[in-house]
Structures are given as C-alpha cells and as structure tokens.
Amino acid sequence: SHLEAVNPVVGGQGRAYQDLDQDLQRRETLAILIHGDAAFTGQGVVAETFQMSELPGFAIGGTIHIVVNNQIGFTASPRDLFSTYYCTDLAKMVDAPILHANGDYPEAVMRSMHVATDYRAKFGSDVVIDMVCYRRRGHNEGDEPMYTQPLLYRNIAKHPTVREHYTGLLVRRGMM
C-alpha cells in the first residue's frame, strides 16, 4: 500500500512529457497506474491524486487505473476495508467511469482496457478498471491466508486457475 505514493509521481511525469512535447491537448502521453484493492481505497494519496487530476495545472488528459481486486486486503475481508459497495467507488468523486472485469477471463480484461483507452482518448479523463480476481497465495512469503481466511482459501484452492479457464475456453472454441 505504501507504493501508492507513486501516483502523483506518475501524473507529474506524464505532465512533464506533455509539457516538453508541447502537447496542449494532453493526448500523446498516457499514464497507467496499477493498484491493489485495499491500497486503492485505503490510501489517501489515491483520493488526492484524483482530486488533483481535475485541476488545470495538474491535468494530464486522464489516467487509466487498473485495480487488481483480489477481494482481500492483506488479511481483512472487504467489509472490514472500505465502507462502499465496491473498492473502486472512490473514483466516483471525479465521475470517472468504473469498468468491472472478471480476472478469470483475460479477454474480458483486455476488452475493458480497450474501452478505457477509447474513453480516455475521447473524453480526456480518468478511467478505472476493477479487475475482480483472487490471490491464490498469501500477501507475501510470510503470510499463510488459511489462518485468517480459511473459508475463502478453501474455495480458492478448488477454483481453476486463469490458465485452466482460458485453455478450456480456447479448446471449446476449437482454437486449441
């Protein structure tokens, strides 16, 4: 979550490239930020970056925010992490569209990315992709999620991987 401090840095870097290139339309440089679900909603720097994105001196023509929503922030469930329905509801503060994509299906995630880049190109504003997925392993090498989330991780252990899902889809399509 401490890595969210990169948000204003990426925005500033994007703005610097645009200013150097005299890109007054703010179209030539695209900032992309990747967030964790708990950090997206829990780190104030994310909200501050959204607020600044609407100011003329900081505007960069929109950022694409990809939220890796594994539905568990370190060891807490969503109801203990944020007070809104979705972790991405924070983006509503700037009326950014929020696209929800099933992380089990790479084509759905790619389609949401295409929609997000098209929207950003046309309207010059932030877009959020909420990639709903799961974390098969723990938060880090020292975390054993079965201790804190035994029911969830029992289900995850039985759940097919993204590779298995996608391979099955390609086989059903006759592409493999």
Residues 6+ apart with CB under 8 A from 68: 34, 35, 36, 37, 103, 131, 133
Residue-wise pLDDT for 121-167, tens only, equals 999 999 999 999 988 877 766 777 888 788 888 999 999 999 999 99
pLDDT per residue over 39-95, tens digit each? 898 888 999 999 999 999 999 999 999 999 987 765 666 677 777 888 899 999 999
pLDDT on residue 50: 96
Q: What are phi and psi of 36, to 5 degrees?
A: -90, 155
* 174 Ramachandran zone, left/alpha/beta (phi>0; psi -120 to 50): left
pLDDT of residue 75: 61
Residue with tokens 């790479």, as numbered in its chain: 106
Contact indicator for 29, 14 with CB cutoff of 8 Å: yes
* 130: exposed, middle or buried (Cβ count in 10 Å: 0-12, 13-18, 19+): buried
Rounded to 5 degrees, what are φ and ψ at 68?
-85, 95
Q: Shortest CA distance to 13 belongs to which of 42, 36, 33, 35?
A: 33
Residue-level pLDDT at 141: 66
Under the banding of pLDDT at 50, 70 and 90, the label for residue 171 is very high
Q: Is the pLDDT of residue 20 over 90?
A: yes
Give pTM, 2 decimals.
0.90
CB under 8 A, 24+ apart: contacts of 138-146:
139/74, 139/75, 143/74, 143/75, 145/72, 145/75
pLDDT band at 2 (very low <50, low <70, confident <90, very high): low
